[in-house]
Amino acid sequence: MTANPDAPTCAVPAPAGLSRIGLIVPSSNTTMETELPELFRRQSEATGHRYTFHSARAAMKQVTREELLAMVDRAADCATAVSDAAVDVIAYACLVAVMAQGPGAHKESEQVIADAARANGHPAEVVSSAGALVRTLRGLGYSRVAIVTPYMAPLTRMVREYIEGEGIEVLDAVALEVPDNLAVGRLDPERLPDIARGLRRGGADAIVLSACVQMPSLPAVQRVEDELGLPVITAATATAYEVLAALGHTPAIAGAGRLLAGASAHEAEGA
């Protein structure tokens, strides 16, 4: 998560009780702009604070290394465009596009976006889904995980290696092998509980139910967590967690796993 200090700005602050969230998403993404607003709707129900979402899109249809790298090249332009809305935080919502650049790439990607927003006169906090996932796992002390991805096997291996490069052992990684990003967005989250049951999770600290912001997973998160008794995290819930942290807000989101449920859930976990 990258801060943007001490820069001249022409931003008009959001009204009291309102935060603006910018999203940079692949052009074919249909999930992040539904799951993230739903999570923040639940946050608003609990706290009364309101959130609005403002998106910029970067061309990407097939989940191939070539298209992912081309999308990354457009990140700065997207950051400039979305920062025109004077957003408080920008979420770069394509996990695999960042990880495809190599170990630790989330840090550079977040800096590129932060620099572009600041140069545009609208500095904002920056969170990437890739960075949010690995930082959240590490921050909670989850050093052994099992993961589910929609990617082809080579990209799934790359995601696994990226996570392991951050000091987190991946005990099992299921690749659903769906190359078309629109098709990924049409995957049925009702299949995820059965897939999760089949994971090799002996010794796991947590399950990453969707290591992809495009694969729908929110309806299954709480069910899998309740059934298997392990914390369940997704790229989307980790991103929401870091966006809230960037805004200085305490999570209070129901039905999306203990990560976003607030302090009481973590106290119960440690009891």
The conformational region for residue 250 under phi > 0 = left, psi -120 to 50 = alpha, else beta, is: beta
CA distances in angstroms from 193 to 127, 156, 226, listed in the order given: 28, 19, 11
Q: Is 96 annotated as a binding residue?
A: yes
- Regarding predicted confidence, which is higher, 221 or 16? 221
Q: Is 10 annotated as a binding residue?
A: no
Catalytic-labelled residue, pool 76, 98, 212, 230: 212
Mean pLDDT of the 130-140 span = 97
Supply the pLDDT for residue 63. Answer: 59
Catalytic-labelled residue, pool 25, 78, 94, 204: 94
Q: How confident is the model at residue 179 (pLDDT cuts 50, 70, 90)?
A: confident
Active site residue 10: no
Residue type, 74: R
Active site residue 212: yes
Regarding beta strands 18-26 and 232-234, do their DSSP bridges make them parallel or antiparallel, or are they unpaired? unpaired
Residue among 124, 93, 129, 127 nearest 14 (CA): 124
* pTM of the complete model beyond 0.85: yes
- Give me the domains of the chain, ranges plus CATH numbers: 18-129 (3.40.50.12500), 132-236+266-270 (3.40.50.12500)
